């Protein structure tokens, strides 16, 4: 009995110590959102209607890229670029502009101090298609560039003509003011981000042959999002990493024939088993340096229980990860995802197909690679009759992770905090693909961020129906880009 009591007491003491540590860490981690020590920047004056009209005009150029290169109307890109030249004369007078493969454009604004590594700003000229059929959901035709109810409507307003025109509006004003950058500023405008990114790739390769090692690359991929679950303040999401991309084509082969005398092994059955095998063997998933930094950055803004869990990840990590896995968008940043997207087999209800084909799309976390994912898939399918091949594109590796909390990250964070003082700035992993991935050959420090204040509802619109940007949001973006360029060039 005495022994038992001793154990009990020791147990209670241990629990008390643990609880003490948990509470202490929670309280000491609970700092209010960092706003007080920032002096809001003074932004330039501009007429919001003038810049909105230019974005609306840009939308009217149907720079749509299509999966098949020959279906794209490349003449429109020439017209678009002629319009850019005419609309932003101060910018084009300040830079050395060159066409890089086809319709991609590199503009170099030479700085006076060659010891400073350049900063590269990226934006793409092309957009995804949009149905112009009447009555299917667009409130205004997607390529008319209509401004209504305080919004600029149209394909590309968010992705990515907002960034392209935003940068040009800012840079043109900066050049007109007589600004001479100390640091070289480069502007890379790819022409086929939505299909292949060959333009951005060529720009990155060209810069590599010239020995350019940028201080940082800034591209689309993050923004300021309000209305995120569990967090009150808007979040400025700076994409410091980007997931890789891979589509595997599974082909199951079996004997064809009449369905009245089927063999035990069929193509459709084998393919189904293969897909189930992949889905039931998910990839390793969990908090990494980026998602941990994000949790810490947002913790002060969350409820007590969440704060306690985040301040004590040494104890609550499995619980936190479990909770995150419950939200698809959070789950996607924790690990490599699996998405069967196409399945094709059979032609007649009483005939066995000799072949069944499925496409499975993977988005690769930085702990995985194209090779390791392919190997994992081969192992779990474990069926020599199911061939595993690559789809047309060869896939891309996950990006390196850019510096967080130092170097160019601090420079960008500073600009954001001065212009959106009410936001929490946090690093983030971008789950889609951007042109910036090609620049990993010349720098590790790639930041995916555009200074737009958006809501989750806005995000549902890009690549979808009624893509739009508010006039106010766009005007502010131009002002922030102006400050960003000015600070980059200083």
- Minimum separation from the CB atom of position 193 to Zn ion (A): 5
Among 222, 240, 145, 181, residue whose Cα is nearest residue 467 = 145
Q: Find out whether 88 and 156 touch, Cβ atoms under 8 Å.
A: no
Cα–Cα distance, 174 to 265 (Å, whole number): 69
Task: Give Cα 348 distance to the centre of its chain.
Answer: 42
Measured from the CB atom, the residue of 174 and 200 that comes closer to Zn ion is 200
- Minimum separation from the CB atom of position 446 to Zn ion (A): 15
Measured from the CB atom, the residue of 125 and 443 that comes closer to Zn ion is 125
DSSP 413-451: HHHHHHH-TTSEEEEEEE-S--GGGGGGGT-S-EEE---
**126 labelled catalytic:** yes
Catalytic, out of 169, 193, 397, 435: 193
Measured from the CB atom, the residue of 172 and 194 that comes closer to Zn ion is 194
Cα–Cα distance, 355 to 344 (Å, whole number): 9
Among 273, 271, 393, 244, residue whose Cα is nearest residue 342 = 271
Which residue in the set 103, 157, 160, 309 belongs to the binding site for Zn ion (CB under 5 A)? 160
End-to-end Cα, the chain, rounded Å: 76
Cβ-Cβ contacts under 8 Å for 36 (sequence gap 6 or more): none
Catalytic, out of 126, 160, 445, 486: 126
Measured from the CB atom, the residue of 62 and 417 that comes closer to Zn ion is 62
Query: If binding is defined by CB under 5 A, does position 219 make contact with Zn ion?
Result: no
* Binding piece for Zn ion, criterion CB under 5 A, among 158-166, 237-245, 247-255, 481-489: 158-166
- Minimum separation from the CB atom of position 219 to Zn ion (A): 9
Measured from the CB atom, the residue of 312 and 466 that comes closer to Zn ion is 466
Structure tokens at 441: 């050959």
Binding characters for Zn ion, 97-136, by CB under 5 A (x = yes): ----------------------------------------
Phi, psi (5° rounding) for residue 236?
-90, 105
Measured from the CB atom, the residue of 159 and 397 that comes closer to Zn ion is 159
Which residue in the set 77, 118, 159, 352 belongs to the binding site for Zn ion (CB under 5 A)? 159
**193 labelled catalytic:** yes
- Minimum separation from the CB atom of position 121 to Zn ion (A): 14
* Binding piece for Zn ion, criterion CB under 5 A, among 125-133, 152-160, 235-243, 255-263: 152-160
Among 489, 338, 405, residue whose Cα is nearest residue 34 = 405
Q: Find out whether 39 and 419 touch, Cβ atoms under 8 Å.
A: no
- Minimum separation from the CB atom of position 482 to Zn ion (A): 22
- Minimum separation from the CB atom of position 410 to Zn ion (A): 26
E-state strands within 114-158: 119-124, 147-148, 151-153
Which residues are marked as active site?
126, 193
Residue ranges that bind Zn ion, judged by CB under 5 A: 159-160
């Amino acid at each position: 009995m005495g022994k038992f009591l001793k154990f009990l007491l020791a147990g209670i003491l241990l629990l008390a110590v643990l609880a003490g540590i948990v509470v202490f860490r929670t309280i000491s981690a609970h700092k209010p959102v960092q706003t007080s020590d920032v002096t809001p920047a003074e932004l330039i004056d501009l007429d919001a209607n003038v810049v909105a009209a230019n974005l609306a005009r840009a939308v009217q150029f149907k720079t749509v890229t299509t999966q098949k290169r020959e279906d794209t109307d490349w003449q429109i890109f020439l017209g678009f670029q002629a319009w850019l030249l005419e609309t932003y004369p101060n910018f084009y007078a300040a830079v050395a502009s060159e066409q890089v493969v086809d319709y991609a454009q590199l503009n170099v604004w030479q700085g006076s101090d060659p010891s400073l590594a350049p900063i590269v700003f990226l934006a793409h000229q092309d957009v995804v298609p949009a149905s112009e059929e009447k009555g299917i959901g667009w409130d205004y035709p997607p390529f008319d560039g209509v401004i209504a109810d305080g919004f600029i409507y149209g394909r590309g307003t968010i992705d990515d003509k907002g960034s392209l025109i935003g940068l040009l509006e800012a840079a043109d004003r900066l050049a007109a003011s007589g600004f001479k950058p100390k640091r070289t500023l480069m502007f890379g405008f790819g022409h086929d981000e939505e299909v292949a990114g060959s333009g951005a790739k060529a720009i990155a390769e060209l810069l590599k042959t010239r020995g350019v090692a940028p201080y940082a690359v800034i591209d689309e991929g993050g923004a300021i999002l309000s209305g995120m679950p569990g967090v009150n303040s808007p979040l400025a999401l700076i994409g410091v990493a980007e997931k890789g991309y891979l589509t595997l084509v599974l082909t199951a082969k079996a004997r064809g024939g009449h369905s009245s005398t089927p063999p035990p092994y069929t193509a459709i059955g084998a393919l189904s088993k293969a897909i189930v095998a992949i889905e039931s063997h998910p990839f390793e998933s969990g908090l990494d340096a980026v998602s941990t930094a994000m949790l810490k950055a947002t913790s002060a803004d969350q409820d007590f229980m969440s704060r306690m869990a985040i301040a004590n990840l040494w104890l609550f990590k499995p619980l936190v990860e479990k909770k995150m896995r419950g939200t698809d968008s959070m789950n996607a940043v924790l690990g490599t995802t699996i998405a069967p997207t196409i399945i094709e087999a059979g032609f007649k209800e009483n005939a066995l197909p000799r072949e069944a084909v499925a496409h499975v799309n993977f988005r690769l976390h930085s702990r995985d690679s194209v090779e390791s994912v392919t190997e994992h898939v081969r192992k779990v399918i474990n069926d020599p009759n199911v061939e595993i091949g690559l789809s047309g594109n060869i896939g891309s590796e996950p990006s390196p992770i850019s510096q967080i909390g130092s170097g160019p990250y601090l420079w960008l964070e500073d600009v954001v905090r001065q212009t959106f003082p009410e936001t929490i700035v946090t690093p983030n992993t971008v789950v889609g693909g951007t042109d910036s991935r090609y620049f990993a050959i010349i720098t590790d420090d790639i930041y995916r961020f555009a200074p737009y204040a958006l809501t989750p509802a806005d995000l549902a619109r890009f690549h979808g129906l009624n893509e739009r940007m508010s006039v106010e949001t766009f005007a502010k973006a131009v002002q922030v880009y102006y400050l960003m360029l000015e600070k980059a060039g200083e």
